[in-house]
A = this chain, B = another copy of it.
Amino acid sequence: MTESTRIWTAALIVIGDEILSGRTQDKNIAQVATWLGVQGIRLREVRVVPDVMEAIVEAVNALRVRNDYLFTTGGIGPTHDDITVDAVAEALGVPVVVHPRARAILEDYYTTRGGLTEARLRMARVPEGADLIENRLSGAPGIRAGNIFLMAGVPSITAQMLDGLTGKLEGGLPLLSETIGCWVGESEIADLLRETETTFAGVQIGSYPFFREGRTGANFVIRATDADLLGACARALSEGLATLGREPVPGGI
């Protein structure tokens, strides 16, 4: 496999009881997924696990080996329920240490904010051997331990950390996509979708139905790494819909 066709993959572990209780609507899955796509890395699997040591360790060990990169969000703050660093260290079989640069960053940040307490110093703890992912918003840095990236749970802070990583991870060709919408029941054009996908090898077509304004419609998302192939497949699908008397809506509905 040449470098240009190698597929780079990532997994994400969302850590937090607040997502599993339904109290908080997760925003990090879509945010991390979108960012990874731009880096040419495909998100292959997500797990949402509670703030429980064994659950985090199990997920880290299952996913770090079979993906190029593993991201986690949540559980790196200063309170008792923030156990992600400890869990990742346990998964890697290394001790937790205070990172000198993280400590310096926090000391600086908290100089005018009441000083570096023991609770705040928790945010300087990293699995031994880890590097930092700096973030300008809250002082506390994210952490890179091998191929594992520990990010914040608060989406705006995660965004800062992702921004700091942009362009720094090796990836492959980004997966391009084109969307065609249509006011049609997806069951009416299932054959067309299947035949079109078969005709254009290397393309995937996803069908996403919806109900809106009292009508049935669907968006068809075509994905490929080759722009020409993508364009040809989108044209063929649009023509197929028109032939069936259904108007294709470029860009989706």
> Could you list which residues of chain A lie within 8 angstroms of chain B, going by C-beta atoms?
14, 16-27, 29-37, 42-51, 55, 77-81, 113-114, 117-120, 122-123, 137-138, 153-154, 156, 175, 177, 185-188, 190-191, 193-194, 197, 204-211, 221, 223
With A25-B30, A33-B20, A117-B187: A156-B47 Cβ-Cβ less than 8 Å: no
How far apart are A39's CB and chain B's nearest CB, in angstroms? Answer: 12
Chain B residues with CB under 8 Å of A47's CB are: 45-48
How far apart are A211's CB and chain B's nearest CB, in angstroms? Answer: 6
Task: Report copies per complex.
Answer: 2
In the bound complex, how far is the Cα of B66 from the Cα of A55, in angstroms? 12
- B55 x A45 contact (CB < 8 A): yes
What 7 A-B pairs have minimum CB-CB distances, sorted nearest first?
Answer: A22-B33, A119-B190, A22-B34, A46-B48, A78-B187, A80-B194, A79-B207
- B187 x A17 contact (CB < 8 A): no
- B37 x A30 contact (CB < 8 A): no
In the bound complex, how far is the Cα of B14 from the Cα of A187, in angstroms? 22
